[in-house]
Amino acid sequence: MVETKNQQLTGLLTALYERFEQEGDYENAQKVLQLLRKWIKNQFVMAFCGHFSAGKSSMINELVGHSLLPASPIPTSANLVSVQGGEEHATIHYTNGEAVRYPAPYDFEKIKQFCKLGDEISEVHLSVSGNLLPKDVVVMDTPGIDSTDDAHRIATESALHLADVIFYVMDYNHVQSELNFQFTKRLKEQGKRVYLIINQIDKHRDSELSFPSFQHAVSSSFANWNVYPDGIFYTSIKKPEYPGNQLADVKRFISGVVQEHQNGAESSIRAALRTLIDDHVQFVERKSDSYIEQMTEELANTNETAFIIERLKAIEETKKSGAEQKDVMEKVFRTESKKIIENANIMTYPIRELARAFVESMQPGFKVGLLFSKKKTEQERIERLDAFYASLQEQVTAQLDWHVRQYLTGWLKKFDIQSGDLKDRAEAFSVSFSKEMLAQLVKTGAVLSGDYVLVYTNDVMTEIRKQAERESTAFLTDALVKWSSNEEERLASERTELQAKRDYNRANQLLEQQRKELREAEQALGILMKEHPKVPSDERIYQMIQEQFQWASAEQQEQVQSIDLNGETFEVSEAHIEVNRTERTVEQTICALDQAIEVTGVLEQLSSIQKQMKKRKENLQNQSFTVALFGAFSAGKSSFANALIGESVLPVSPNPTTATINKIVPPTSDHPHQTVQVTLKTEEALLTELKLSLRFFQYDVSTMEEALKAIAEVERTNPNVDAKKKLHLSFLQAVQKGYKAVASHLGSRLQITLAEFGDYVAEEYKACFVEMIELFYDCAITQKGITLVDTPGADSINARHTGVAFNYIKSADAVLFVTYYNHAFSKADREFLIQLGRVKDLFSLDKMFFLINAADLASSKEELNTVIRYVHDQLTQYGIRFPRLFPISSLEALQDEMNPKFVDFKQHFYHFIENELREIVMKAAYEDMKTAHDMIHEIEELQTAAQRDEKGYLQHLSQKEEQSLRNLEGVRQEIKEDVIHQEIKELLYYVNQRVFLRYADFFRESFNPATIKEEKGKIKEQLARNLRELLEAMSFDTMQELRATTLRMEQFLTKKAFDRHRVFLQQLVSSEMPLQPDGLTIASFPAFELSPPIADDDIPLFEPSLQLYKNSKRFFAKNEKEKMKMAIQEKAEPLLKTYLQQEEQVFVKDYSQTWHTYSDAYFMEMREELAQYFDGLRNIVRQPIDQDHLKKWKQDLLQLLQ
């Protein structure tokens, strides 16, 4: 009965519920109703919070003594789950407000699956028998607070008002997460009793850190954030007997607080009520402020009625002039687009040469060589058509499509034609033509000549221009229709708006009414808090707290028997990639090269090809490889590296902020086994990093002395800092502590022992000064010529590390990314993986491997498959298609080098290193042998021809040499600076497009209900911090895109070099020359130091946009965040445009210089190759070679090729 309860609290709860309902504050009204239900039913609520996969569900199952909740290393409790003692049943609360109760007996395992359906279900309530839980005790399991789903976070935060005690559960490896400190600090500020549970302590290794030291580090870390929990427990469910396991203490403690809960029940509810009342007052203020501001703005914008009437007349006049405007738009479009199409330079000399070669192949008497069959002649025709078509298509894209795209986009903007579809069509404009068209335009019976080639190429250009005009006209027609539609909608909208504003008196009356209601609401709430509200009848209270649900129908009970969440199963493949053993091994290829080098050594005419083969052999014998290791802090990169090495050599760094580059390098004569070389940062590099960190505390310094003084001042004046500043403060304090000892050594290299190595990684006051550490170590991986580079974590605060990491992605022979078995990808991981996704397909080989570390934590094969599928889907989401994915356990691999999972990974990894990477060189080696064979065959034929007609033979050689030099000079003109400029311009155009495509996501991450808490006096600071975070995200994304663009430009120039060399080789084949020299590769590409596009000095430009924030409700519920989003975007667009224009100039200058340097070297090399080749053939006349010897050498080379 109600009379047994505290009457005052019951009355206050019911009165507040009714008041909140009247005010329309349904969210807080429901929370008050939940507190009333808890109070009447005398419930004690324990809530378990923490990261996903920290073991919350497993902990509850252990404490209750029954497997109630699903436990998995990937997110499982996607909704709120509550468990209470009582009559057995399960109640499912759906997001649409419905509740369905399933009576016992039901399939318990199937009901558990509801816990994973976060999109459809808001809460799962389980009532279990009294021997599992006392009747008045409720245990809540919440979704992981680090979930990327906002609904999960809201579900957690919206339920904690009910909690009498909160247990915050963390994984042993992720105690140092900032989210732990932030969330527990907020709970303590709300007056909650908070106990920390550090779970999975069986992962602790005394060899890395003593357990008391770990416990001290935990307490200190939370104290640094001014978080003082009510208690800390260290537990392991997996290993109950593990030393230091306090699981039994947790059970005893919970038993004690349950028995004592009557003493603190009222104070717990009153504390929750104080928070809800504050929230409701803010709700009323927001609602009234929103309406008052809306009406005030409306009245301010409503001037005299005469003005409105005049504007309505103007709208009618505008409709009449619309037809004239449409004619102007069409005329401008047709004139300008025609000019662009006619001026496009699409038939350059190299393309005309390819056209000539194609037309030549279409002549009736065309044959390739003396000994070629009809089939090979037809194949040559196809190859010439393909080469002509590919080059022409590329030129049309660069010289016609791109310019038309720019014009179409600008034309849409100029005439304000708003259409996503038209914009997409403009940006994707492309003139389509086929190979068949090129073939059909060759006139039957036309004789090959210079004049006819010009006629033919003119016909091709005419046809392409006609097609361009047809496609642009189709675009124009659709655009004009859209413009007319938009204009009609705009005028209709303005007319409606003006007519609405005519009711001035109505708006004024509504405004005064709203102000009156606000005053009355505030007065009523004040009276309610001071008086003792009347207690409703028992019947009324019963009606209020009665849960609304319907019993599950027979059909629903059947459905619960067949829930299938997993869908497609994902088995771990025994072989993630096809291990295709090449027909010839590296050793066989080296042996074949030795024999081929010996054969070609007797002929000076083959000296060039012999030189190439010697180079191939040297590459195969001495090839070294760089393998870059990436992963988030705490993912287990160092332990994985140790497993590859075969012993624990690399220490585990506890400092995510000061991570250095660690290299495991093959020993040399100067650096024998176990030698360690430490490269310290220069004073200039250190000062740059200090400047960055000090800017977060509003300090601008220019010297080391100023920096050290500023650090001391920062430590004195900043005892409490937010998450972002905390990382930088830690770095600054480390520099302050260690600077004196290291100052004189900055910029130098230190030789240290292996025993000293650990200090430079683990001790932050030393590690913060280290640029790179090289450990020279003799082990299985270095014996294969591999240098293993352990890079800084993706979450490093050092901005320079991003550029360093990208250089390793680009230049490394293989990339390994390590993720932890039961931990989500952080935001830093996500951005890094997106960058991998941007460039993955640009490499000729898929050189990326993804490893799920600590797979030994899997309780079953099914669980392991679930995790692999989860990681696979996440990688796909970030643009990494078909990832090579391996579950491994570094710990087990260190204990047993024959661990099956690790052996499986190593087999695939070493196959990639030893075979796939060397395959390119091996293939080229056999191509060289074939070229040598063909050159000896030609020497046979030409020697015979020279014996018949020596003078004619020499004259023929001179003509061929002159023609070859002319061909060489012709391909020299293939690519000019304007083509490079055009490619850069187009790439940067799409950089800008992609950055603003992600802008909405960046804005949502920076400005959301979790980042904007309406605390008095703090809202401006929060908005300013969110703005900075948004601008940093945009700057970071732009720089990452530019880094990817540098790789695309390198690929573009490399392809141009390859295509030009291919054209030259094709001309040699057409001239019946077997000579196939290697083309030079571009020796080096420019390196760019990128600066952020939006600097600190630009931030004041954006600050006026923050004034658009009025209150939380208008910002989110009324969607006024869109106004701020657009205002910030309007300021950012010109800044990024200017920045990209500046980078465009730098890119054009540096890449053009790179191309010119390469071109000069290429043509010098090819001229020398031609000179040697023709000199060698002339020598055949003076020094004939025995034909029998030629036949034997040919046969020897043929055997090597078979």
Q: Identify any residues that bridge with 816 across adjacent strands, giving them in sequence order.
A: 629, 849
Predicted confidence band of residue 568 (pLDDT cuts 50, 70, 90): very low
Taking the C-alpha atoms of residue 119 and residue 136, their distance in angstroms, rounded to an integer, is: 30
Strand 231-234: give its sheet, edge to edge: 231-234, 193-199, 165-171, 44-50, 137-141, 80-85, 121-128, 89-94, 99-103, 550-551
CA gap 867, 350 in Å, rounded: 54
Please report, as a single letter, which amino acid is at residue 398: A
pLDDT in the model for residue 177:
73
In sequence order, the 6+-apart residues with CB closer than 8 A to the CB of 875 are 833, 850, 883, 885
User: What is the separation, in whole angstroms, between the first and last Cα of the chain?
Assistant: 97
Is 152 a residue whose pLDDT tops 70?
Answer: no
pLDDT for position 788: 92
What distance in Å separates the CA atoms of residue 1028 and residue 1025, rounded to the nearest whole number?
5
pTM of the predicted structure, to 2 decimals: 0.62
Structure confidence at residue 1076 as a pLDDT band (50, 70, 90)? low
Sequence-distant (6+) residues with CB within 8 A of 37 are 43, 545, 547
Pairing of strands 89-94, 121-128: antiparallel
* pLDDT of 905 above 80: yes
* Helix pair 1019-1070, 827-839: axis angle to 10 deg: 20
- Is a pLDDT exceeding 60 seen at residue 292? no
Residue 572's Cα: distance from chain center in Å?
A: 25
Whether 302 has a pLDDT exceeding 60, the answer reads no
Q: What is the pLDDT of residue 747?
A: 92
Cα dihedral 902/908/909/915 (nearest 10)? 150
DSSP code of residue 626: E
CA–CA dist 585, 918 (Å, integer): 10
- Strand arrangement of the beta sheet that strand 749-752 belongs to: 749-752, 675-680, 770-776, 661-665, 786-790, 625-631, 814-820, 848-853, 884-887
Q: Is 1070 helix (H, G, I), strand (E, B) or coil?
A: helix
Could you tell me how far CA 299 lies from the centroid of its own chain? 47
Q: How many CB atoms lie within 10 A of CB 364?
A: 6
Say what angle helices 178-189 and 211-224 make with each other, to 10 degrees: 60
Tell me: the pLDDT tens digits for 945-981?
A: 777 777 887 888 888 888 888 888 777 665 667 788 8
- The 10s digit of each residue's pLDDT in 822-869 is 665 666 677 778 877 777 766 666 788 999 888 887 777 887 888 888
The first and second tokens of residue 48, run together, are: 């378990």
* H or E stretch covering 551: strand 550-551
User: How many residues are present in the chain?
Assistant: 1202
Highest mean pLDDT among 199-213, 513-527, 693-707: 693-707
Cα–Cα distance measured from residue 456 to residue 448, given in angstroms and rounded to the nearest whole number = 10
> What residue has token string 């259409």?
419
Alpha-carbon Rg of the chain, whole angstroms? 37
Q: What average pLDDT is seen over the chain?
A: 79
Query: What pLDDT sits at residue 192?
Result: 86
Give the per-residue pLDDT at 501: 55
734: enclosing H helix or E strand? helix 723-742
pLDDT tens-place string over residues 205-260 = 787 778 898 898 888 888 878 889 999 999 998 888 889 899 999 888 888 888 77
How confident is the model over 583-619, as pLDDT tens digits?
678 888 889 999 999 888 878 778 888 888 898 888 8
Write down the pLDDT at residue 112: 60
pLDDT in tens, 1000-1041: 888 988 887 767 776 656 788 888 888 988 998 899 889 888
Name the least confident of 93-107, 111-125, 812-826: 111-125
pLDDT value at residue 947? 75
- Looking at residue 110, its pLDDT comes to 65
User: Which pLDDT score is estimated for 240?
Assistant: 85
pLDDT confidence of 155, banded at 50, 70, 90? low
Q: 535-539, 637-641, 985-989: lowest mean pLDDT where? A: 535-539
Contact in structure between 712 and 736 (CB atoms under 8 Å) = yes
What would you measure as the largest C-alpha separation in the chain, in angstroms? Answer: 128
In the three-class reduction of DSSP (H, G, I as helix; E, B as strand; rest coil), residue 767 is classed as helix
Q: Which residues are within 8 A (CB) of 592 and not within 5 positions of it... i.e. 6 or more apart?
A: 584, 925, 926, 929, 1200
Which distant-in-sequence residues (6+ apart) come within 8 Å of 173 by Cβ?
200, 203, 634, 820, 823
Q: Report H helices in 134-177.
A: 150-157
**In this predicted structure, which of 184-198, 531-545, 1135-1149, 1188-1202 has the lowest mean pLDDT?**
531-545
**Is the CB of residue 290 less than 8 Å from the CB of residue 1113?**
yes
The more confidently predicted of residues 439 and 278 is 439
What count of Cα atoms within 13 Å lies in the side-chain half-sphere of residue 516? 6
Residue 1141's pLDDT is what? 92
Which of the pair, 794 or 706, is modelled with greater confidence? 706
Among all chains, which residue has been given the structure tokens 């520099």?
735
Q: What is the pLDDT of residues 386-411, one digit of tens each?
A: 988 988 988 898 888 888 888 888 88
Exposed (0-12), middle (13-18) or buried (19+): which is 528, by Cβ within 10 Å? middle
pLDDT of residue 303 exceeding 60, the answer is no
pLDDT at 555: 55
Element (H, E) at 775: strand 770-776
pLDDT higher than 60, residue 434: yes
Q: Give the model's pLDDT for residue 197.
A: 93
Query: What is the dihedral angle through the alpha carbons of 734, 740, 742, 747, rounded to the nearest 10 degrees?
Result: 100
Query: Coil, helix or strand for 1092?
Result: coil
Residue with tokens 């799920």: 852
Question: β-strands 89-94, 884-887: how paired?
Answer: unpaired
Which of 144-148, 447-451, 518-522, 1191-1195 shows the highest mean pLDDT? 1191-1195
Q: Shortest CA distance to 46 belongs to which of 172, 141, 129, 127?
A: 141
Is the C-alpha dihedral spanning 238, 239, 240, 242 positive or negative?
negative
331-344 tens-digit pLDDT: 888 888 888 888 88
Say what the pLDDT of residue 279 is: 77
Q: How many angstroms separate the CA atoms of 812 and 139, rounded?
A: 51
Residue-level pLDDT at 306? 52
Q: Categorize the per-residue pLDDT at 623 as very low, low, confident or very high, splitting at 50, 70 and 90.
A: confident
**What is the average pLDDT across 21-39?**
83
Q: Closest Cα partner for 177 from 227, 116, 143?
A: 227
pLDDT confidence tier of residue 539, bands split at 50, 70 and 90: low
Q: Which long-range contacts (CB under 8 A, 24 or more apart) does 1005-1014 make?
A: 1005/827, 1005/1029, 1005/1030, 1005/1033, 1006/1030, 1006/1033, 1007/1115, 1007/1121, 1007/1124, 1007/1125, 1008/150, 1009/150, 1009/154, 1009/1112, 1009/1116, 1010/150, 1010/153, 1012/1109, 1012/1112, 1012/1115, 1014/282, 1014/286, 1014/1111, 1014/1112
Distances in whole angstroms, Cα of residue 56 to Cα of each of 50, 68, 85, 1017, 1197: 7, 12, 19, 36, 69
